[in-house]
A and B are shown apart, each in its own frame.
Chain A
């Protein structure tokens, strides 16, 4: 499945009016996130503090446009990752560094899927993708 654009993800999530809608949308989004290979799911790529296992890889490939890859063993988390990565996919390092990721995150309408015990993990993910 092709990675949906940020605006389409925002539209899908903003159309959710219940926790259940958001759950289903995240599960659908999870299918758009390409899976990592077993080699890529190495400990060095693991994000600490998540309830589920999360791996995040940033490849720079000698260009100014980093490539983001992520995976999780939980579908909800893969949905969340698909949404988060849509914020930075296709952007240059300079553009990403100038972004206010946490307020962009609020625009995704992920609500309680970002709060409580998941927060630590998501903060660590944002920190890593911010390219600072």
Chain B
């Protein structure tokens, strides 16, 4: 049975105060906290298995290599990758997207088109924009409304010029889910590659890359209860094969002469240098953590927290809410005539951690007509009391800040 109060006990960081208040951590879309088993996995690695992987045959090196490769398989199973070796370790979502954006450059012609949605994080926008600058290909933005719906003319965006479609599964700024299955289908119909940014989805929604049938799926460990500095580029084998390595060096080679280099096979070909071994193990422990709980119950709980905050705040005149009331694990809003930083400052002074700002999505903020929003994002360890405390404290802040 899923119980947020007992899950909370697994997170040592949540047991401390913030200033003279209890800590209320609602900035989970930025990064989640880490359960003890992830921390112990990392510590345990250094205490019992630390060695460089894939090199030198000795006791520790064998142990480290086998744990590291097991971690890869854990993640592959977690996302239902159809084959082994389809998970490439990166330092996060950003590096995974850049690996693809640089890796496919040799396939892009000046009259090709690259499609992204209008709800992207800068991480799934700037690499494609820069790729379009380097190659002359055209970057086109599929307009989505802020409730995640397509606009009527969407079909026209897909054509035989479309080379790749990159789309987020869930918006980090406004919590809405995008119809990625449709996006992938449209892309397939025109023979384009697909990349799904799962950074905001992976901690909440069960993900099956084989069911989605996308070419690439990317996410970060730190947003799913794992450590920072580790992330995943999943790719279909032929899609990964088509990437030119954008980083070269050790580990990714089979044979080197001064005249030429023979690259290693996948997944190593795309993993130059000593990898983040402890990060990979920590991320695998985070997958185990997520799978040990009833993911559907957790998701319902997180959505009910966002919905609770929503219903407390929705009838306040000056508040505009951008996230959906239902089926969102976060609430994102702005308050008329009140600066986000002031609201953020008051909540912080009460020990409530939220995020105020543009959420690395300047074009989306422009679309919404605001300079930023205040976002409270929920995780499995948050309680109903915390959701209510956030909403009520926000109302207090508005009252205090609007009096003159």
Interface residues of A (CB under 8 A from B): 18-20, 22-24, 27, 31, 51-52, 73-77, 113
CA gap between A22 and B19 in the complex, in Å? 12
- A51: which B residues are within 8 A, CB to CB? 341, 357
What 1/0 flags go to B336-352 for Cβ under 8 Å of A? 00010110011011100
Q: How far is the CB of A81 from chain B (nearest CB, A)?
A: 13
List 11 A-B pairs, Cβ < 8 Å.
A18-B349, A20-B349, A23-B345, A24-B400, A27-B342, A27-B401, A31-B404, A52-B339, A52-B341, A75-B339, A76-B345
CB of B337, distance to nearest CB on chain A (Å) = 10
Contacts of A18 in B (CB 8 A): 19-20, 349
Bound together, the chains give a CA A76 to CA B342 distance in angstroms of 6
Give the complex CA separation of A132 and B346 in angstroms.
35
| Majority secondary structure, B binding face | helix
**Distance between B219 CB and nearest chain A CB, rounded to angstroms:** 26
Nearest-neighbour CB distance to chain B for A87, whole angstroms, equals 22
Taken together as a complex, chains A and B put the C-alpha atoms of A52 and B356 apart, in Å, by: 11
Q: A31's closest neighbor in chain B, by CB?
A: B404
Tell me which of B341, B346, B349 contacts A77 (CB under 8 A): B341
Residue of A23, A31, A52 touching B346 (CB-CB under 8 A): A23
The main secondary structure of chain A at its interface with chain B is: helix
What B residues does A113 contact at CB under 8 A?
345
Residues of B in contact (CB 8 Å), total: 14
**Cβ contacts under 8 Å, B20 to chain A:** 18
20 further A-B contacts with Cβ under 8 Å, apart from A27-B401, A51-B341, are A19-B19, A19-B348, A20-B19, A20-B349, A22-B349, A23-B345, A23-B346, A23-B349, A24-B400, A27-B400, A51-B357, A52-B339, A52-B341, A74-B339, A74-B342, A75-B339, A75-B342, A75-B401, A76-B342, A77-B341
In the assembled complex, how far is the CB of residue B4 from the closest CB belonging to chain A, in whole angstroms?
27
Say whether A73 contacts B339, CB under 8 Å.
Answer: yes
Q: Nearest CB to that of A51 among chain B residues?
A: B341
Q: Which residues of A contact B342 (CB under 8 A)?
A: 27, 74-76
Please indicate the chain B residues that have their CB under 8 angstroms from the CB of A76 in the complex. 339, 341-342, 345
Q: Which residues of A contact B349 (CB under 8 A)?
A: 18-20, 22-23
Cβ–Cβ contact A74 & B341, under 8 A = yes
Shortest Cβ distance from B18 into A: residue? A19
User: Chain A residues with Cβ under 8 A from B401's Cβ?
Assistant: 27, 75
Residues in B neighbouring A20, C-beta threshold 8 A: 19, 349-350
Distance in Å: Cβ of B180 to nearest Cβ of chain A: 33
A-contact 0/1 string along B345-369, CB 8 Å cutoff:
1101110000001000000000000
> Can you name the residue of chain A whose Cβ is closest to the Cβ of B404?
A31
Rounded to whole angstroms, the CA-CA distance of A18 and B349 in the bound complex is 8
* A-side contacts of B345, CB under 8 Å: 23, 76, 113
- The residue on A at minimum CB distance from B372 is A51
Cα–Cα distance between A51 and B400 once the two chains are bound (Å): 21
Nearest residue in A to B337 (C-beta to C-beta)? Answer: A73
A19 and B357 CA atoms in complex are apart in Å by 21
- Chain B contacts with A in 193-250, Cβ cutoff 8 A: none
Which residues of chain B come closer than 8 Å to A19, judged between CB atoms? 19, 348-349
In the bound assembly, the distance between CA atoms of A75 and B339 in angstroms comes to 7
**Chain B residues with CB below 8 A from A23, complex form:** 345-346, 349
Kindly provide the distance from the CB of B272 to the nearest chain A CB, expressed in whole angstroms.
Answer: 33
Beta-carbon nearest neighbor of B348 in chain A: A19
In the assembled complex, which residues on chain B have CB atoms less than 8 Å from the CB atom of A52? 339, 341
CB-CB under 8 A from A74, the residues of chain B are 339, 341-342
Q: Which residue of B lies closest to A75 (CB)?
A: B342
Q: Lowest 7 CB-CB distances: which A-B pairs, in order?
A: A74-B339, A19-B349, A20-B349, A23-B349, A74-B341, A19-B19, A75-B342
Distance A20 CA – B19 CA, assembled complex (angstroms): 9
A47 to B350, CA, bound (A): 29
> B350 to chain A: which residues have CB within 8 Å?
20
Interfacial residues of chain B within 39-93, with CB under 8 A of chain A in the complex: none
